[in-house]
Amino acid sequence: MSRCAPPLCLWLAVVLLAPLHAKVTAPAQQHAALGLPFMLGCNVTTEDGEVLKQVRWLDVRNKTILHYQPQRPGDLISHDGVELAKQRAHTSAIALEKVKAGDEGCYTCVFDVYPTGQQQGKTCLSVTARVESVGNKTAVQGKPVTLSCSYGLTEKVQQVLWRKTAEQGDTVTVASYTKQGSVTVETVFQDRVKLSRSLGHSQLTINPVHTEDEGCYTCDFHTYPLGSKSMTACLAVYVLPRPEVSYSIDVDVVQANCTAVSRPPAELIWNVENHNRSLGPSETSSYQQGDGTTMVVSTIHLQAKLLDEEQVTCTALHQGLETNISVHLNRTRNTHIILLSVGCVVLVLLICLCVCLKKC
């Protein structure tokens, strides 16, 4: 039978016969979302004869944020925003009510075990955040519009970059702001674009908006060490309609036209189209314009006497309008214009006659 050497036998005796003491285990690294609740926990393993007397939690600055005695639950003391989430024989967990950027770091759980002494574990928290945006927006040509996005971990942002992707897929840089305080607006946008000097809440203002500004805009937060965090929102640019009406008379039939140029196309409605007050339904034609707008022409035929009997109205419906726009078509309107024109001619002739008489 083989025998171990004296030094080896002594080491084995120490290992096998030495009592096992309390041991603390905890996750080495955890990730928590900014603004949401989160729970941190530690487990302690004790042996027969060992008693857990007190538990303390230390924050990232090594300050006590919660402590209690398992045998005396009423003596629990905690700081605002921190609660005891779980208390069992071998488990202690705390809940952060709302994770903040300053909560990032390592937390220490300390177990006072009798008679072994103080045992502790450590768990580290990494705070993550998402880019927040108000979403897609619409703007009216000629008016200002502001696109914005936010990132909660401002101290990690090195640069904010705005890019625009057109409908055709082309992407260009619009503007950027760096941690050093430098704002850069690309030449093509310099006359109309302003970027706020902020790394946390970025605002891109376009004033005035043009139809070519339509597209999707991405705000990209370049962070360290988390990398790039971005959000995309799309901008739709409206051109509001300004409907105009005209008509011509052939015998007793009136051909009335209502025209509106807008983006997207407007819907034109006649108030006399129903109830047999028109000579058939209206006809609508659309013509694409070179600037991205659409001309819509609605034509309707009426009996001439209808212009004397009631007010004929063309109404433009458009998603960019707060209220619909209506224009009126009446024979009296043209009659007034004719009478006014004739009156002006007569007045001019009288003035000329008076001048001539004085000279004579």
Q: Rounded to 5 degrees, what are φ and ψ at 20?
A: -85, 130
pLDDT of residue 349: 64
Query: How far is 104 from 30, CA to CA, in rounded Å?
Result: 10
Q: Report whether pLDDT(45) > 50.
A: yes
First to last CA, the chain: 158
| pLDDT digit string, tens, across residues 19-36 | 445 689 999 999 999 999
Tokens encoding 208: 């005035």
The better pLDDT of the pair 346, 15 is held by: 346
| pLDDT digit string, tens, across residues 57-113 | 999 999 999 999 988 877 889 988 999 987 777 889 999 999 999 999 999 999 999
Query: How far is 236 from 136, CA to CA, in rounded Å?
Result: 8
Domains (ranges, CATH) in the chain? 19-128 (2.60.40.10), 132-238 (2.60.40.10), 244-332 (2.60.40.10)
Q: Where are the alpha helices (DSSP H) in 181-273?
A: none
What is the pLDDT confidence band of residue 339, given thresholds at 50, 70 and 90?
very low
The better pLDDT of the pair 188, 358 is held by: 188
Average pLDDT (153-163) is 97
Q: Is the peptide bond before 73 cis (omega within 30 degrees of 0)?
A: no
pLDDT of residue 23: 87
| % of the chain surpassing 70 pLDDT | 85
Q: Report whether pLDDT(287) > 60.
A: yes
Average pLDDT (49-55) is 91
User: Measured on CA atoms in the order 326, 329, 333, 337, is the torsion positive or negative?
Assistant: positive
Q: Report whether pLDDT(12) > 50.
A: no
| pLDDT digit string, tens, across residues 288-321 | 998 889 999 999 999 888 888 888 999 999 999 9
Average pLDDT (284-289) is 96
| pLDDT digit string, tens, across residues 206-244 | 999 999 999 999 999 999 989 999 999 999 999 999 999
Q: Report whether pLDDT(341) > 70.
A: no
Q: Which burial class, exposed, middle or buried, applies to 277 when counting CB atoms under 10 A from its CB (0-12, 13-18, 19+)?
A: middle
